[in-house]
Amino acid sequence: MLYFSLVHCHLKYCIVSWGTATNSVMQPPEVVHNNILRTITYINYRCHITPVYKSLNILKLHDIYKLELAELLHQFHDEMLPTSFKDLFQKTAEVHCHNTRYATNQNYFIQNVSTNAGKKKQFLSRNYTLGKCRSTIQR
């Protein structure tokens, strides 16, 4: 499909770094993405866009971000990233020696932050355990 060669590659590029931006920053690319899909499918601009995503098997921008983050965590866990990424995440079991469910489920520790953008990034990143990461990639 022409969409994947012209649009999807641009949305996917470095989305792990800019995908945690505020809603005011993320809304314009989402609107453009929706308009492109409406143009491709020849539907009215007033029509709801979610059925179009489902019928074309295309991920929304936020879902593309979640998939790319899951792939990054998977590569980090399997040590397939360059050595410059080794300090990107830290296993919870390495932070403290308490035998908790959170530590034993191969979760990753995220530093506490005080800014709203940092809290959003922390919330999204904290929800990705290795199990979720692998199930997302397998789908």
Tens digit of each residue's pLDDT (9 = 90 or more) over 51-67? 999 999 999 999 999 89
pLDDT at 73 over 80: yes
Nearest to 12 by CA among 61, 81, 73: 61
So what's the pLDDT on residue 117? 57
Strand partners, 108: 91
So what's the pLDDT on residue 48? 94
CB neighbour class for 120 (10 Å; exposed up to 12, middle 13-18, buried from 19):
middle
Tens digit of each residue's pLDDT (9 = 90 or more) over 77-105? 888 989 888 777 777 777 777 777 766 67
**Could you give the percent of the chain with pLDDT greater than 90?**
36
Rounded to two decimals, the pTM is 0.73
Tens digit of each residue's pLDDT (9 = 90 or more) over 106-119? 777 666 666 665 55
Give the mean model confidence (pLDDT) for residues 5-12: 91
